[in-house]
Copies of this chain bind each other. A is one copy, B any other.
Amino acid sequence: MKYKVIGSSVNRLDAVAKVTGKAKYADDFFERDMLVGKVLRSPYAHAIVKNVDTSKAMALPGVEAVIWHKDLPKIQFPTAGHPYSLDPGHRDVADKLILTDKARFVGDAVAAVIAVDELTAEKALKLIEVDYEVLPFVLDPEEAIMPGAPVIHEERPNNIVASFGAQYGNMEEDIKNSEHVFEGEFQTAIVQHCHIENQSAYAYVDTDDRIVIVSSTQIPHIVRRIVGQALGLPWGRIRVIKPYIGGGFGNKQDVIIEPLTAAMTLAVNGRPVRLAYTREEVFIDTRTRHAMKFNLKTAVSKEGKLLGITVKDIVTQGAYASHGHSIAMSAGSKFRPLYNFNSVVFDPKTIYTNLPTAGAMRGYGVPQIIFALESHIDDIARELKMDPIDFRMQNLISVGHADPLTKNVVRTFGIPECIEKGKELIKWDEKKKKYKNQSGEKRRGVGMACFSYLSGTHPVGLELAGCRIVMNQDGSVQLQIGATEIGQGSDTVFAQMIAEVLGIPMDMVHVISSQDTDITPFDTGAYASRQSYVAGAAVKKAALEVKDKVLSLAKIKTGINKEELDIVDANIVEKTLGRVLCSLEDIAMESYYDRVYAAPITSDTSENVRVNAPAYGVSFAEVEVDMHTGKIEVLEIYNVHDSGIILNPKLAEGQVHGGVSMSLGYALSEQMIFDKKTGKTLNNNLLDYKLQTILDTPEIGTAFVELEEPTGGFGQKSLGENPTISPAPAIRNAVLDATGVGFNKLPMNPQAVYEKFKEAGLL
């Protein structure tokens, strides 16, 4: 075994704290005289805010302030949690005001109350009088780009956020050379993250006259920057603290409530103000997953070789740009290092509509495109009368593949092994045979789907991560890391890395779980499945620096060359003899108290990671379809991942369980529904929004193909978002296998299934 701590299923560091309620979330902190902020929202999908009369609300005892856009700087700012770019052409679209001067969806924030308590704030909201000029609105992206459609943002009169794409090779040539050209249309729904903890933050002005914001965010350092931008303040005047948070899934990779929370404290002379969204608010005024409508056209040779593909992608952005076209572009690039196409044309349009804003969500566009692609691939195999696995196998890329556009190189590629494992787990061949030619009320089938993903955002985004380690007198260490623990277990995995490199047990690693932009090393945060791969590189670098300092001091103390020294089980050992020279504590004590050499051992470092390892996986699903009710039951589902070396199998399994569960909902039940007449969200609560519960969830099988990725510090690749990508198309393909009907639109809820079966003449 190469590693001692890496690869073992150590318990989450925060497990006990979270189970016992000791772990503190944003709502658990109290400041003296904390005020409550509440938001007044537009009842119209599209309306100019002509005037706001706050006088009656202000007159209510207990109301400290009422603000609207005229009280705030008129600065349009971006909200996406991306690293800032020095190139103005690469920055996110800045189309938000803290409180809007034009409502662009039902629920847009128009005014805000700061009051002594929630009840008073709620009462005051009702006393605010807004003079709206109501405008026509548009909900459908394809209608939104038609001539004469209502213009949602003046800066983009055609309602297109962006429409640039990507392409390589010669698709026309490939079509010319092909035997078959297949087309397919696929569509995904608007869904929501449904993290357990709603967005919540509080802010105050500190003793240094700076704005402090404690927020449930994935990206504290980016929140700092964007609040600075939104308020027109130097970024150093903002301080953001992230405590434990109850999930994010990308929705907290957006700066949504913090600028308003900051504006609220400024409105009351710096007194602390809490802004905690309700679940209903989270559904409409945070972010959703982009609905995408794909048109795929694929050229295939006589031998069943994929030659070229054209993907048209209509992306529903909603009211504000948020991550906007980045998500389309992510979809358009991350599927590429999977099948060996000669040519790819990716042609997306990200389009404003008068709907809640779509943003980052686990998988970042890839669950959408992989649903389309892997459904399409299965359809093609079916048409070609080929086994869908054989068809895929003969079209896979191989190690050494370099993306023609990003130049990203594939150094490990585990799809064939993943497929092998998945087939065995689900007993593919046996079931495939057994389920042929079914009839009757309940029909079973098996399906599978592959995916490719990346580990971070390089080379699109800057991948900078920071880490600081401080060694205590007893040889234990504190770890400060800019990368944020958001429930995924990153703290634990980073601690394992430190323990591994430093040769100490886990209980000697103390992780400062909270990030504070004043003092925590810079890192852009938790997203893009970058933590263990990207931030792990900074952690390893810092740990190696600490180890080097320990051994340098040990050399002074022992006289033995550093190259001959190592740290094993918190002892300094002479490598060749395996002899213990002294304890690590002895050296740590010297680092604090030696009269000449004293210099406490720390590392404060950063790493700019300029590689990106594609990660892979497959889903295998077995379904039973009730032909009468349209209900699809997933009997078995397996996710087999190539994520390099698995750092902590138990945590990895947890990631997979969560991701698969999310994809089950994506496949079968989840969607936000809007009233076509008003634009109002009809199911913005957890009763009407059909999230999968534990009762809906089958046993989820997990397996890993562990190829050591040379660019990962410990052989690792991404795993965070990955599990959520391929289950939906695998289920869809299993339903196709069971019924012969290909569902091209998500979710496949009983109503949709029933309707489609009727259409197909099965009922």
Contact = CB atoms under 8 A, between A and B. Distances in A.
Given A600-B521, A608-B598, A13 B208 contact: yes
A234 interface: yes
Contact of A84 (B236, B466, B592): B592
A511 B209 CA distance: 12
A604 B604 contact: yes
A518 B86 contact: no
Contacts of A510: 208, 210, 236, 518
A513 B604 contact: no
A208 B511 contact: yes
Given A207-B14, A513-B207, A593 B86 contact: yes
Contact of A600 (B32, B522, B610): B522
Interface string A603-623: 110101010000000000000
Contacts of A594: 86
Q: Which of A23, A28, A237 has the most CB of B within 10 A?
A: A237
B207 A462 contact: no
Contacts of A207: 14, 16-17, 22-23, 513
A590 interface: yes
A588 to B, nearest CB: 9
A25 B426 CA distance: 62
Interface in A509-547: 510-513, 518-519, 521-522
A475 B228 CA distance: 14
Contact of A519 (B208, B225, B466, B512): B512
A402 interface: no
A602 B590 CA distance: 25
Interface in A553-605: 589-590, 592-600, 602-604
Given A16-B207, A236-B474, A476-B236, A85 B604 contact: no
Could you say how many copies of this chain the assembly holds? 2
Contact of A462 (B17, B237, B466, B595): B595
Contacts of A208: 13, 17, 510-511
A595 B609 CA distance: 10
A464 interface: yes
Interface string A676-719: 00000000000000000000000000000000000000000000
A466 B13 CA distance: 29
A84 B593 contact: yes
Given A207-B513, A470-B519, A606 B599 contact: yes
Contacts of A14: 207
Interface in A66-87: 83-86
Interface in A263-297: none
A466 B608 contact: no
A462 B518 contact: no
Contacts of A85: 593
Interface in A196-239: 206-210, 225, 228, 234-237
A480 interface: yes
Nearest to A606: B599
B235 A474 contact: yes
Contact of A592 (B22, B464, B599): B464
Q: Which of A17, A225, A522 has the most CB of B within 10 A?
A: A522
A236 B602 CA distance: 14
A472 interface: yes
A505 to B, nearest CB: 12
B519 A593 contact: no
A182 B472 CA distance: 53
A552 interface: no
A480 B519 contact: yes
A120 interface: no
A8 interface: no
A206 to B, nearest CB: 8
Contacts of A732: none
A599 B608 contact: yes
B608 A236 contact: no
A554 to B, nearest CB: 15
Interface in A410-438: none
Nearest to A23: B207
B86 A590 contact: yes
A478 interface: yes
Nearest to A470: B519
Nearest to A209: B16
Interface in A12-33: 13-14, 16-17, 22-23, 28, 30, 32
A641 interface: no
A602 B520 CA distance: 11
Interface string A334-364: 0000000000000000000000000000000
A508 interface: yes
B225 A473 contact: yes
Interface string A172-211: 0000000000000000000000000000000000111110
A535 to B, nearest CB: 14
Given A207-B14, A464-B598, A600-B521, A473 B590 contact: no
A28 B33 CA distance: 12
A570 to B, nearest CB: 11
18 contacts: A13-B208, A16-B207, A28-B32, A84-B473, A84-B589, A86-B589, A208-B510, A210-B510, A234-B476, A236-B474, A236-B510, A462-B598, A464-B592, A464-B599, A466-B600, A478-B519, A512-B518, A604-B604
Pairs of residues from A and B, 8 with the lowest C-beta to C-beta distance, nearest first = A17-B207, A236-B476, A236-B472, A604-B604, A234-B474, A522-B600, A236-B474, A478-B518
Given A208-B510, A464-B599, 7 more contacts: A207-B513, A208-B511, A234-B476, A237-B476, A462-B593, A521-B600, A521-B602
Interface of A: 13-14, 16-17, 22-23, 28, 30, 32, 83-86, 206-210, 225, 228, 234-237, 462, 464, 466, 468, 470, 472-478, 480, 508, 510-513, 518-519, 521-522, 589-590, 592-600, 602-604, 606, 608, 610
